[in-house]
Amino acid sequence: MAFEDLNDDVLGLIISHLYATPPPPTSLTWDPPVLGRRAQGTAYALVNKRWQALAERHTLASIALKTADLPTFATTFASPRRRECLRRLSLTVSLPTHGESRDSFARNLAAFRATVSLFFGTLSLWSGRQQGRLELHLDAAWDIEYQDNEPVDLYFDVTKSSASRRYLTLLDHDGQQLLLPPVQSITSFITSNSAGRAFHPTALCTLAAAMPRLTLFSLSYLDPVPARVGLRRELRCALASGLLSLSPLAALSQLTVIREPMSSIHNHSFSVGTLQDSDGVDAFSAAVDKILAGRHGPTDLHLEDTLLSAQLFLGHGPWPTLRRLRLRSAEILAPSGAWYYTGDPAAVEAGVDSAPASPSVAGSRDEDSSESDDGEDDDTLNGVRPTHEWRMQPDPLTFDPLIAALTDAVVSRMPVLESVSLELGMQDQSECIGVEVRFVEAGVRMESRPDWKEDSEDEIMARRCYCWVGRAAEWEAPEKVLAMWHGWVGERGRVEMGRWPPMS
């Protein structure tokens, strides 16, 4: 049989075999092709037009591009057939400057707005079968445009620059938000951030709101250093408002919010400013509670290092759609600035870096600073040094109310619950002090456990409540909480307190 006589199904199997490249243990997997460069395996697509059409299902399935590639992208995917091939798209916004001064940062803002406008304008024209199938990853990178007479800065340190506290927005010079056309093709939107190239939470939510078919939204935002209390509070409130603006997205079922701190606190005597408003309300917790209480709330919620507050659980209405809730926080701090752990400072030796560090350039207040009275971004003023991690035990005054509020919400507010997990302090210390609490509905299998055990088939058929306490910590559930745990699992269920990691 001649090659031309093979039907498309057979050719598809041949091409799938050619592009199925399980890597050997020591090699790297292929990167997605970058427009304008020949991707590995492209030669397979040059046999003939039939072969090309089938091969492009693989070569065009995952594309990485940056701002300068957008015109080529629009031309390449002008064909509806090619649009149907695309499943994953990584867009990097090219920033022409480091953004140290207001003028240079204004150029970055203009580049961000222009990139978004062109990209959304292109995708808004797509229609038909390719609607609602695309996963978009968004980040930003420096693509410095040096002038001929300008020296090249090879040693730029963003942590010592005012650029580290600037955020990319979609606002114009008059403070008006960029108007975006709806894009029907995107169903998953995943963002990442880094200092000096961080997206403002409002901008990310504005982008998501222009994706009517969005089902998965993973929002990552950069949290400034602890000394910048005013800016941190402002961003947290903006994040809360942005999330509330997503309520028209009826298809949004999976929501992830990841807080990426610019620095972590290693001095447990450090006094952290509050992120709550003057009435003691945490805007973020209130917003998440309202979203979960909505008729079209998400089925899956994952909060990563967002600083947990009992206020999240203290509302009165049910969360009618929530099935899976995962809360993870390496830091043992509340949004109020309170610590969830306590201990004896004299019982833990301070680190070898206990000598104060000299102030860094980034902390000095200059004309570009977004704050006037929050102090310098110095390791000492941000709780990084001296290292003294003496808070080793859950504090009954703060930790117990958090667990009690979570338990009450599980019992009274989650009618379709499948699994809930709360992890606090699991990664923050060299010592194992973290606590994890899980609630699992009957018939639901758990992910890996910190004690490395597995539930038996009989155990899986009943409700389970587990609590694991790090071996360097001591905590017993209060009687009221323990009673609620037993009440929730019922007679056939199981409540178990354990330790992690397991003894070898």
Whole-angstrom Cα distance, residue 365 to residue 371? 8
Question: Which of 498, 202, 475 lies closest to 332, judged by CA?
Answer: 475
Per-residue pLDDT of the chain (504 residues; tens, 9 = 90+): 555 555 555 555 545 655 555 433 322 234 555 555 544 444 444 455 656 666 677 678 889 999 999 999 999 899 888 888 899 999 999 999 999 899 999 999 999 999 999 999 999 998 755 566 899 999 999 998 766 566 667 778 888 888 889 999 999 888 888 999 999 999 999 999 999 999 999 999 999 999 999 999 999 999 999 999 999 999 999 999 999 999 999 999 999 999 999 999 999 999 999 999 999 999 999 999 999 999 999 999 999 999 999 999 999 899 999 999 999 999 999 999 999 999 999 999 888 765 544 333 333 333 344 444 443 448 888 888 889 999 999 999 999 999 999 999 999 999 999 999 999 998 755 689 999 999 999 999 998 888 888 999 999 999 999 999 999 999 999 999 999 999 999 999 999 999 988 776
Cβ–Cβ < 8 Å for 466, 449: yes
Cβ–Cβ < 8 Å for 59, 31: no
Q: What is the pTM of this model?
A: 0.87
- Find the radius of gyration of the CA atoms of the chain: 26
What separation in angstroms does the CA of 290 have from each of 233, 245, 407, 411, 489?
19, 11, 18, 18, 27
Instruction: Fill in the amino acid letter for 51.
Output: W
Query: Could you give phi then psi for residue 495, rounded to 5 degrees?
Result: -120, 130
Whole-angstrom Cα distance, residue 494 to residue 42? 56
